[in-house]
Structure 1
Amino acid sequence: MSDAHHHTCSCCADPQSGPPMSYGAPAPVVWKARYAWRRDSELTADLCMIKGKHFFVHGLVEIPVLDGDEAFSWGVWVSLSEPNFARTHDLWEDPAREQEPPYFGWLSTELPVYADSTLNLKTHVRTRAVGRRPLIELEPTDHPLAVEQREGITMARVRELADQLLRG
């Protein structure tokens, strides 16, 4: 095996082949640690409820990489209506969930690499096979994130994102 395309991550000694292909947010932007103590609020790796009134699902905005082998993905949170959240919850382990129509949702994750805020972008949430995160499709606007999802990005852009995120 050749090490030509491996580099060593600057923060640790592990060789990595290329930049990370996904990044995620641990919670919706409106979640606060104190909510964890409330009976009407909950945060899991997949779903979130705040004060029994606000409902979110964790999904992936997938962006085609034109010169790569796999898509780049942002792990984001999207708000759902209460009925759609209840349905998502009820169908969580049901293989028939793939037949669900897309749900409307507002993007609830701020991706700081974009100059324009990503909060409250309109999305469609597509339920996928059990065990896979929903696919988050952005409304086709001229927001840079929506453009990238539509048109794809290059590995050079993936490296640029990695640099921006590492610098914080």
Structure 2
Amino acid sequence: MTYSAEAPAVWDPTFADANDCQLSSDQCVVHAQHYFVKGMIEIPIVGSDAMFSWGVWVSLSRENFSRSADLWDTRGREAGRPYFGWLTTDLPVYSPTTLNLKTHVHTRPVGERPYVELEPTDHALAVEQRAGITMDRVREIAEAVIHSGSSEER
């Protein structure tokens, strides 16, 4: 029950050949000026121990991106403070857009994607992260994502 964006909203396939741009499954750099990491927004499913997850991209400052990269393979890295970032994935089932929502990126143990915590606002995505969603909502999201073709199921 995970849907994942392949790249930040600002990524353009023409960047792939540029020396100052890089896109991997976990990190992205655009024109050596904009830095992104991939993380997971986890939403509890009401009445279940299961989670629904969005694989999203978050922009980080150069300093935070550098710190994240320096600690990438370091055991115990999850003990560090979270990074502030801006959500740079436009999730197709939310209006208004999810672009530029404030986040905190919590590093997890090596091999696990970071946990993305949204600022507690009244945006529907932030409310769902705090309150959870029903299985009916999961099905609604799945149908919308499949029809939009904008994310890949994992």
Aligned-residue Cα RMSD (Å) equals 0.8
Higher Rg of the two aligned structures: 1
Q: Deviations over 1:49-73 (max 9, x none)?
A: 0000000000000001112331000
1:34 to 14, 21, 28: 14
Counterpart for residue 63 of structure 2: 83
Identity across matched positions, percent: 57
Aligned to 2:44: 64
Give the residue type in structure 2 aligned to 1:79. Answer: S
* Matched residue, 1:93: 73
The equivalent residue for 2:2 is: 22
Count of residues in correspondence between the two structures: 148
The residue type paired with residue 161 of structure 1 is I
Residue 81 of structure 2 aligns to which amino acid in structure 1?
P
The TM-score with structure 1 as length reference comes to 0.86
1:46 maps to 26
Alignment deviations for residues 69-109 of structure 1 (CA, whole Å, 9 cap, x no partner): 31000000000000110111111110121111010000000
Q: What's 1:17 paired with?
A: none
Letter in 1 for 2:131: E
1:63, 1:71 within 8 Å by CA — same for their partners in 2?
yes
Amino acid paired to 2:105: V
Contact 1:68 1:154 survives alignment (8 Å): no
Contact 1:68-1:155 within 8 A present in 2 as well = no
Residues 61-70 or 118-127, more deviating? 61-70
Question: What is the deviation of 1:166?
Answer: 1.9
Structure 1 residue matching 2:64: 3-state secondary structure: helix
Are 1:65 and 1:154, in contact at CA under 8 Å, matched by a contact in 2? yes
C-alpha distance in 1 between matches for 2:144 and 2:93: 7
Q: What 5-or-longer segments of structure 1 have no aligned partner?
A: 1-20
SS in 2 for 1:45: coil
Calculate the TM-score normalised by the size of structure 2: 0.94
